[in-house]
Amino acid sequence: MSDNAEEGIARTQAAAAKTGGAAGLTKHHAWNVAYLDERIVVFLLAMAVIGLAIVWASATSPLILYGSLIVVILLIIVWGIARIKRIETIRRERSRQVASWRSDEQN
């Protein structure tokens, strides 16, 4: 996606949040901060993978090799659990939004 498309999406989301008043804008800002946090975590994980590749390429001790492999497996499991919780949180938020839209339509 080009930078212009992302900017257009961000402007549209901000405009939609402004129509919700101060509460809508606050909620929109909180969502963007959470998304930024997720991007930071992905960047840190990428740096960890690069560091791990360097360790695996230069390590001679089997303890370091197998120990780091176990740590990687555990981190992948923890990251998967965190992603599942994040997905569930997003689904709950979306279902709340749908419920509020439906209640607005009925009124």
Read off the pLDDT band of 78 (50, 70, 90): confident
- Tens digits of per-residue pLDDT, 18-64? 666 666 666 666 666 667 777 787 888 889 889 988 988 998 899 99
Task: Choose the weakest-confidence range: 26-30, 45-49, 89-93, 101-105.
Answer: 26-30
d(CA 63, CA 89): 39
d(CA 67, CA 105): 57
Does this model's pTM top 0.75? My answer is no
Residues with Cβ within 8 Å of 72's Cβ and at least 6 positions away in sequence, in order, are 52
